[in-house]
Structure 1
Amino acid sequence: MSNNPLPLIYSAFLVLLLLSRSVQAEQPPVLKYNVTGSGNYFPYYTNDKREPGILPEIIMRVMQLADIQAKHVELPAKRTVKYLHLGHIDFDVISLEWLSQTEKQNPQFIYSDSLFTIEEYLVSLKSNVTNWQQLEAIKNQPVGTILGYYYYDDNHFKRVDFSSEKQLIEALKLKRIEVVILDKLPALYWAQQFNTDIDFGALHSLGNLKIRLRAEHQALLPKINMAIDELKQSGRLDAIINKYTKNIPPQ
C-alpha cells in the first residue's frame, strides 16, 4: 500500500472544484437594466437616490417580489437602445406603441404584462396649439424629439433632436421650435418649472409601459408577471405613481 498522499489530495481537489462549479452554475444571473430615459424624465426618473422616480421604484419592487437580482446601469437613451440590442443590458421599460412594426416583431425581445398606461402628445405653446390638433399636421414638418428615443412615425416628419424633456419645454418657451412630442406628465412638470404656457394637441401614442426583456431570459417572465400582478393587486403600484404625481398640476 502506497503512503503517497498526492492521489488523495488530487481527488479532494477535484471534488472541491466540481462543487464550486456546481454552486456557480446554480447562482441566478444578475440582470442589468436601464430606466433613466433622458435623465430629465420626471416623474418617471428623478436622478435622486432617495426618491428615484416611478420606474426605479416599480422595477425594484417587481424584482424583489420575483426574487430576481437586478442592477441598474446609468446610460443615456441612445446607448440604452444599443446596449440592449447587443446584450450588454438585459431589459428596459417601453411602450410597444412607440415602436415600428418591425421592431415590435424583433425576436430578440419578449414583453411583460402591463405596468401602467402612458400618454404622449403633440405639445405646443397655447398660442400655437390650434395648428397641431391633427396628427397629420406634423407631416414633413420639424418636430422636437429626444435623442435616442423611439418614434414609430419619425419617417413622416423632420426630427429635431434635443437631449431631454426639459430642453424640449425650454425650446418651446424660447420659440426655437413650434411643436414637440412629449409624454403628458413630463410636459406638465417641466412647463410648471419654467412657467411655460403649453397645451396639448393631437394624441401621438397611447399605450402601456412594459418590461422589454431579452429573449434568453424567457424563463423569468412568469415570475416577473406574477410580481407585477401582486404589486397591482396590493395597491402598491398606484401608491408609487401617486407619490410622484401628486404635485404635478392637472391639464
Structure 2
Amino acid sequence: MTSLKWLLITCCAICSLSTLATEKQNTLKYNISSSGSHYPYYTNNPDHPGVLPEIIEKVLVDANISAYHEPLPTKRITKYLNEGIIDFDVISLNWLPQSERNNTMYVFSDPLITVTEMLVTLPENSSKWKNISNLTGKNVGTVLGYYYHSADSFNRVDFPSEKELMEALVRKRVDVAIISKLPALYWSQQLNLSMGFGAQYSHGFLRIRLLSKHKHLLPVINKTIKNLHGNGYITNAAKKYMQDIPIQN
C-alpha cells in the first residue's frame, strides 16, 4: 500500500513538472520598448508606461495569450527576434525596406495605431529638407537599432534615443534627423528646444510582428484588436498620452 502511495505521488509530481514545462514553453517573450524615449508609444515609466504597453498587455489578456516583456537594448531587438529568442515586437511596415515587408519569417497583425516619421531640423533649416530625396549622401541623425526604409541612400549617425537626437540637432552635431512626429513634439517641449519639420519620411500603422511559427495565434490576436478598436479602448489609451504633447502650430 505504501509503495502504491509513493508511486501515485511520484506520478503526480512528474505530471506537475511536465505541465509547468509546457506552460513555460508556451509563454511568449516580446519587446516593445524601442529606445525607451519613444513618447507617447513607450515611456520607460512603469506608472505611465505608454500607449503600446497598455494596448499590448490588453490584447494579450483578452486573447488569453501568456507572454512577458523581455527588456532589451534597441540594437538587439531585431537580432533576438531573428534568432527566435523573443517571439514578437511592434513595428510599422513602412519603416522597412520593400524587401523586408514580405519576409516569410514573420506574420503581421491588423493595425494598432498610426505613426508618422518626419525629417526634423532647426527652424531656419526646414526649407532645405522639403523632400526626402535631399537625404541622399547626407549625414542623417537616426536612432540606434531602428529601421529606415531608405537607409542605404544616406549616412546614418546613430544616437541612443529620440531625446538625444533632439539635443544633437540643437548642438549641430547633425543638420537633420528622422524622428517620429509625436516624440519630436514631446521632446521639443520637454527640453525647451525649437525645431522645424521638413518632409514626411514615412506614415503607417504599428502592428504586432510575430514569428511565423506562432501564426496560429494571429486570428485571435486580430479578433481582439478589432474588439479593442470597436469598444474604444485603443483610442482612449492613445488620448491619455496625447494630452502631454503640444499641438503644432
TM-score > 0.5 by shorter chain: yes
Post-superposition Cα deviations, 1:21-68, rounded to whole Å, max 9, x if no partner, equal: 774576472111111111111111111111101111110111111011
Does residue 184 (structure 1) correspond to residue 193 (structure 2)? The answer is no
Give the length in aligned residue pairs: 247
Name the amino acid aligned to 1:41.
H
- Alignment partner, residue 88 of structure 1: 85
Show structure 2 runs of 5+ residues with no match. Answer: none
Q: Please, which of 105, 122, 128 is the counterpart of residue 119 of structure 2?
A: 122
SS of structure 1 residue aligned to 2:90: strand
Does residue 113 (structure 1) correspond to residue 110 (structure 2)? The answer is yes
Q: Which runs of 4+ in 1 moved over 6 A?
A: none
Q: TM-score, normalised by structure 1?
A: 0.92
- Looking at structure 1, the residues matched to 76 and 19 of structure 2 have their Cα atoms a distance apart, in angstroms, of 34
Correspondence 1:1-251 to 2 at 5 A? 8=4, 12=8, 16=12, 19-20=15-16, 23-24=19-20, 27=23, 29-251=26-248
Name the amino acid aligned to 1:96.
L
Residue pair 1:77, 1:147 contacting (<8 A) in 2 also: yes
Residue pair 1:39, 1:76 contacting (<8 A) in 2 also: no
Residue pair 1:37, 1:77 contacting (<8 A) in 2 also: yes
- Looking at structure 2, the residues matched to 5 and 228 of structure 1 have their Cα atoms a distance apart, in angstroms, of 54
The percentage of aligned residue pairs carrying the same residue is 47
Q: Note the C-alpha offset of 1:18.
A: 7.0
Per mean C-alpha deviation after superposition, the further-off stretch among 183-192 and 98-107 is: 98-107
Per mean C-alpha deviation after superposition, the further-off stretch among 11-20 and 90-99 is: 11-20
SS of structure 1 residue aligned to 2:124: coil
Name the amino acid aligned to 1:82.
K
- Looking at structure 1, the residues matched to 103 and 42 of structure 2 have their Cα atoms a distance apart, in angstroms, of 26
- Looking at structure 1, the residues matched to 13 and 33 of structure 2 have their Cα atoms a distance apart, in angstroms, of 41
Q: TM-score, normalised by structure 2?
A: 0.93
CA separation of 1:222 and 1:138: change in aligned 2, threshold 3 A: same
Bigger Rg over Cα: 1
Residue pair 1:143, 1:180 contacting (<8 A) in 2 also: yes
Tell me how large the CA RMSD over aligned residues is: 1.9
- Looking at structure 1, the residues matched to 159 and 99 of structure 2 have their Cα atoms a distance apart, in angstroms, of 25
Q: Note the C-alpha offset of 1:217.
A: 0.9
SS of structure 2 residue aligned to 1:155: helix
